[in-house]
């Protein structure tokens, strides 16, 4: 696993009324002060990748559909520099993913349903000076193959 990245599997508490999932708690070992929460939905077949932050931590929770989430460690001072991690997150695998600054991240929508993604961030978005750097989804340095390998 990439240094400082953390994945917390979530428990679903259900009964005859429905269900409840506690997503992020102050007692989580990776918890940080949240300055913004954003929700996005992405259509089937879309790849949104890659971007990274200099200061900001992201905490991703996919609540709808399924996503292939890809992380790549860009940090020069990291023991896992150049390492790639892949996670399959969504309604069939509820988890929250803590993504540190300097780790590029992106995702691909799997299946025929939209992906719903909540991301909680340690910095509020500033359109005049965004803490966001972009890298193409097919950047040769990362070299990630987004195609599904049939087996």
Q: What is the pLDDT of residues 5-15, one digit of tens each?
A: 999 999 999 99
Q: CA–CA distance from 46 to each of 15, 41, 66, 97, 136 (Å)?
A: 35, 11, 12, 20, 14
Of the candidates 32, 111, 9, the one whose C-alpha atom is nearest the C-alpha of residue 64 is: 111
- pLDDT at residue 149 tops 90: no
Helix or strand or coil: residue 117?
strand
Given this model, what pLDDT does residue 7 score? Answer: 97
| Whole-structure pTM value | 0.94
- The fold adopted by the segment(s) 6-124 is Jelly Rolls (2.60.120)
Q: Percent of the chain having pLDDT more than 90?
A: 97
Say how far apart CA 53 and CA 151 lie, in whole Å.
Answer: 35
Q: What is the pLDDT of residues 115-124, one digit of tens each?
A: 999 999 999 9
């Amino acid at each position: 696993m990439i240094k400082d990245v953390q994945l917390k599997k979530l428990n679903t508490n259900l009964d005859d009324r429905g269900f409840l999932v506690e997503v992020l708690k102050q007692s989580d070992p990776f918890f940080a002060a949240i300055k913004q929460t954003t929700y996005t939905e992405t259509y089937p077949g879309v790849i949104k990748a890659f971007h990274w932050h200099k200061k900001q931590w992201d905490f991703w929770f996919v609540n709808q559909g399924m996503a292939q989430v890809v992380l790549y460690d860009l940090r020069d001072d990291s023991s896992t520099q150049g390492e790639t991690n892949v996670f399959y997150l969504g309604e069939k695998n509820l988890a929250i993913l803590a993504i540190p600054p300097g780790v590029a991240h992106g995702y691909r929508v799997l299946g025929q349903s939209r992906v719903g993604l909540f991301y909680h961030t340690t910095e509020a978005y500033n359109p005049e000076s965004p803490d966001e750097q972009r890298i193409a989804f097919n950047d040769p340095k990362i070299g990630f193959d987004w195609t599904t390998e049939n087996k």
